[in-house]
Amino acid sequence: MLRVLKGPGCHIAAVLAATDFGLPGIEVIDSRYRDFKFDLKSVIADNASAACFAVDGRAVPAGCVDLRTLGVVLEKNGKVVLLGAGAAVLDHSAAAAVAMLANPLGPRGQEIPAGTLILAGGVTEAVGVQAGDHVDLRVQALGSVSVRFV
């Protein structure tokens, strides 16, 4: 985030105005719940099953691309496994999800600080991996990011 974001009243335009740039990112998820079976409260308490993440690609200013229509290709071991578009994340890629995050913080006296890196939601569903797998995410106009599992 280029500038502080605070709710209530935060909306997509405010998020885009406060965002310095976007990058492709892969979130590696893990869960202590068998077969990823959990309710919303449990996954939030478990920090959304987040294990780690990787970002790379070209830092493109948020206002220079239409986040809703950005095409996404997810490959595993050189084969396309999923396709998507930015609109898959609350109909507007990052911006709607970040506004949803900022709005309940304001009444609590909290905000999203400038300089915060935010993973705003997955455009595709999760793909299972094992040792030796290589995952590559290509995002139109933003480039790609890759992860190899050992």
Query: Which pLDDT does position 39 carry in this prediction?
Result: 75
Query: Which pLDDT does position 48 carry in this prediction?
Result: 61
Domains: count for the chain: 1
- 3 state SS of 80: strand
The verdict on residue 7 lying in a domain is: no
- Compute the average pLDDT of residues 105-129: 89
More confident position, 148 or 85? 148
Query: Which pLDDT does position 92 carry in this prediction?
Result: 66
The verdict on residue 97 lying in a domain is: yes
Find the domain containing 37 and state its range.
Answer: 12-148
More confident position, 35 or 29? 29
Q: What is the mean pLDDT of the chain?
A: 87
Task: Copy the structure tokens of residue 34.
Answer: 């068998």
Q: At 130, which CATH number?
A: 3.90.850.10
Give Cβ neighbours of residue 145 (< 8 Å, ≥ 6 apart).
Answer: 23, 24, 25, 26, 54, 55, 56, 57, 136, 137
Return the residue matching tokens 């900022």.
102
pTM of the predicted model over 0.75: yes
What percentage of residues in the chain have a pLDDT greater than 90?
47
Query: Which pLDDT does position 74 carry in this prediction?
Result: 97
The verdict on residue 63 lying in a domain is: yes
DSSP-derived secondary structure for 32-56: SSGGG---HHHHHHTGGGEEEEEE-
**pLDDT, tens digit (0-9, with 9 covering 90-100), for 38-88:** 776 776 666 666 788 999 999 998 778 888 888 999 999 999 999 998 887
